[in-house]
Each structure stands twice: as C-alpha cells, then as structure tokens.
Amino acid sequence: MIIRVADLEPEGRHVEAPLRIGPLRSDANEPICIEDAFLRGDVRRTSRGAEVLGHLICRAVVPCARCLELFPVDVDRAFHVRYAFAAPMGKDIEIPEEDLDVDFLEADGLLDLAAVASEQIYLELPMKPVCRPACRGLCPRCGENLNRGGCACSAGLPEA
C-alpha cells in the first residue's frame, strides 16, 4: 500500500489493511516468509514530512540459527516512525540531534507502508532466532541435525 504524502488530508488517513510482504532475507541471506500481515494505524502529514503511528501483527517463518529448521515467530509490534522530505539533490542539510531517528521519504513523496512494515518486522525479530532453548544445532563435522538424535560421524559427540 503506497500513500502520496502530498495528497493526505490535514486530519491524516486511518489505515486498516492486510499487507503482502516478502519474502524478506535473514543475515545469512535465508528467506523469511511473512504470513497474515495486518497493519492498523494512522498516517499524518507534518510540517517536515509525515509520521506513521501504527500496530503490526504477522507471523514470520524464520530459520533457526542453530539447526536451520524453519519455525514461526509471531510479531505483534506497536510503532511510531517519522519521515522527512528529502533534501534537494546536491544540497547538504544539517540534521538536528532530535531528528536522528527520522527516515526520509522517497523523492516523489511516496510512503510505502509495506516497506514500513518490513522494517518493523526486522526490528522485532531476534538477531539469532532459536527454535527452542534446548536446540542442539548441527554436528560441526557432518552437519546432521542433532535434535533428531546423534550422528554417526567420529566427532565424538554424545548420542541424544
């Protein structure tokens, strides 16, 4: 869903919509599938750009950092993000310290809510997602998933 900031009414726009997102990519370039994404919130024009005050719910299917098996992570995130109009090409501007957390709108003043939601998903997911606390991971020698039992290689690892 894309919103043109210049077309927003002074009172803004309320949004309640399913979003099609994905797949995203993990740090290891593995796909992260996003299911049932739903965004609820308000988009308002400000004197310097726009702001989105919203709530995102979805399920991300991510690979475990230890065993590489896919597992679901529920995302339920409230957020408030601010956007400023980009400076004209070739012109430097000084950003006040209180605005260091402000992102920039695209040059045409468009705000892509799917991109906003994708950023919020990345911020909500753990850096090293683990399918369960007791995950044993992969054998360092043969790569067998140790959650399924021991491996037969000579790594000297105990059986499960």
Contact 146, 135 (CB under 8 A): no
Instruction: Give dist(CA 20, CA 39) in Å, integer.
Output: 10
Residue 94: what residue type? E
Q: Which residue has the higher pLDDT, 108 or 144?
A: 144
Query: What does the pLDDT read at residue 117?
Result: 95
Distance CA 34, CA 75 (A): 10
**Which residue, among 56, 57, 116, has the nearest Cα to 83 in the 3D structure?**
116
pLDDT in tens, 131-159: 999 999 999 999 899 999 888 885 555 55
Q: What is the pTM of this model?
A: 0.80
Residue 14's pLDDT is 95
Angle, vertex CA 64, rays to CA 131 and CA 135, nearest 5: 50
All residues at 6 or more sequence positions from 141 whose CB lies less than 8 Å from its CB, including other chains: 151, 153, 154, 155
Whether residue 152 contacts residue 139, with contact meaning beta carbons closer than 8 Å, is answered with: no
- Closest C-alpha to 66, from 118, 120, 28, 25: 28
pLDDT in tens, 12-44: 999 999 999 988 998 878 889 999 999 999 999
Determine if residue 57 is left, alpha or beta; phi over 0 gives left, psi from -120 to 50 gives alpha, anything else beta.
beta
Beta bridge partners of 33: 61
